[in-house]
Amino acid sequence: MLPKSIMERDGELWYFVEEGDNASLNYRVRRILHEEQTPYQHLMVLDTYDFGPCLILDHILQTTSMDGFIYNEMIAHMPLALHPDPKDVLIIGGGDLGVANEVVKYDSVERVDMIEIDEAVVRAAQRFLPEVAGEGPLDPKIHVHYEDGVKYMANASRTYDVVIIDSSDPVGPAVELFSQPFYQNVHKRLNPDGIMSCQSLSPVFNMFYLQHIREVLDLFFPAVKTYHATIPTYNGGLYSFTIGMKKVPATLTGIKPHGENRYVTPEVLEASFVHPEYVRNDLKMRERT
């Protein structure tokens, strides 16, 4: 029996992902590389024709070999490049290891703690998506902990310069990663000049969640900024990220990402804060900086 998000049409397999209640996208699939029900979620890896191997959690596309670098570079480099001297970095989620591999491009970073609830995600990414997870052993700076990110944030005593919330969409085990108590604990775990970043979904299909995330972060951070990137396989193509900063920055210009990158440049990072007018109108942005 095929998984519920896979259908056969004219002798070919197609993966379909719903975009809100009234639309869906379809991807032609060469074959199902892997499928399992983990203790936390349904996990698949599909080999697609245009996007290569894709990681699917609870039937929602998470990353692909073709365009996963865009998301990983944007969620990681913005807070790291804005921070004056990031040394200790925390990643909540991030099981495909793509964000962790971006973080260690910064020479100043001494330690990366990655809190991933589902070990099966890491295994699948390392086996089937080396373009995202990397090949060979992990950088020794990266320390992977298989535990609940919400509980870790509530109980941890360690503090960080940068916290990156690389969660899946707000369903299943990721629901609490969008809650007010969770973000309050993120604020507590950040050093005085700390910066956090998170994915804040599509301004086209998920404006409710984007507004919610900004409103919650506004409760704890004096500077909250939303930025965007174009990611072909994500809802609507236009995708958003939001940062919370404990210190109001003097400027958001001259942002210089580190390492060899395929998407981010100083110009791309700076321009990503400029939104289309329809997004500004829908979001009713209340920028403080």
Is 148 annotated as a binding-site member? yes
* 126 shares a domain with 158: yes
Q: Is the pLDDT of residue 1 over 80?
A: yes
Model confidence band, residue 88 (pLDDT cutoffs 50, 70, 90): very high
Is 37 annotated as a binding-site member? no
* 33 shares a domain with 145: no
* 140 shares a domain with 20: no
The pLDDT, as a whole number, for residue 263 is: 98
- Among 64, 88, 113, give the residue marking a domain's end: 64
Residue 125 belongs to some domain of the structure: yes
- 53-63: average pLDDT: 95
Respond yes or no: is residue 85 known to be catalytic: no
The pLDDT, as a whole number, for residue 191 is: 98
- d(CA 197, CA 264) in angstroms, rounded, equals 16
- Among 40, 64, 88, give the residue marking a domain's end: 64
Q: Is the pLDDT of residue 171 over 60?
A: no
CATH of the domain at 42: 2.30.140.10
Q: Which residue has the tokens 């191997």?
A: 53
CB 131 within 8 A of CB 52: yes
- d(CA 238, CA 33) in angstroms, rounded, equals 28
Tens of pLDDT, residue by residue over 91-144, are: 999 999 999 999 999 999 999 999 999 999 999 999 999 999 999 999 999 999
* 191 shares a domain with 119: yes
* 183 shares a domain with 46: no
SS (H, E, C) the chain: CCCCCEEEECCEEEEEEEECCCEEEEEEEEEEEEEEECCCCEEEEEEECCCEEEEEECCEEEEECCCHHHHHHHHHHHHHHHCCCCCEEEEEECCCCHHHHHHCCCCCCCEEEEECCCHHHHHHHHHHCHHHHCCCCCCCCEEEECCCHHHHHHHCCCCEEEEEEECCCCCHHHHHHHCHHHHHHHHHHEEEEEEEEEECCCCCCCHHHHHHHHHHHHCCCCEEEEEEEECCCCCCCEEEEEEEECCCCCCCCCCCCCCCCCCCCHHHHHHCCCCCHHHHHHHCCCCCC
The pLDDT, as a whole number, for residue 288 is: 45
Residue 289 belongs to some domain of the structure: no
Q: Is the pLDDT of residue 168 over 70?
A: no
Q: Domain range holding 42?
A: 6-64
Q: Which residue has the tokens 């295994």?
A: 123
Instruction: Please pick, among 58, 118, 166, 218, the residue that the annotation labels catalytic.
Output: 166
* 30 shares a domain with 143: no
Residue 288 belongs to some domain of the structure: no
* 154 shares a domain with 170: yes
Tens of pLDDT, residue by residue over 253-273, are: 899 999 999 999 999 999 999
Is 139 annotated as a binding-site member? no
- 149-165: average pLDDT: 94
* 264 shares a domain with 186: yes
Tens of pLDDT, residue by residue over 221-255, are: 999 999 999 999 987 789 999 999 999 998 898 99
Is 119 annotated as a binding-site member? no
* 160 shares a domain with 133: yes
Beta 88-93 vs 160-166: how paired, if at all? parallel
Per-residue CA distances from 119 to 94, 98, 122, 219 (Å): 11, 15, 5, 33
* 136 shares a domain with 152: yes
* 141 shares a domain with 30: no
Q: What is the pTM of this model?
A: 0.93
Q: Is the pLDDT of residue 84 over 60?
A: yes
- d(CA 250, CA 117) in angstroms, rounded, equals 37
Work out how many domains the chain is built from and give that number: 2
Model confidence band, residue 284 (pLDDT cutoffs 50, 70, 90): low
Is 5 annotated as a binding-site member? no
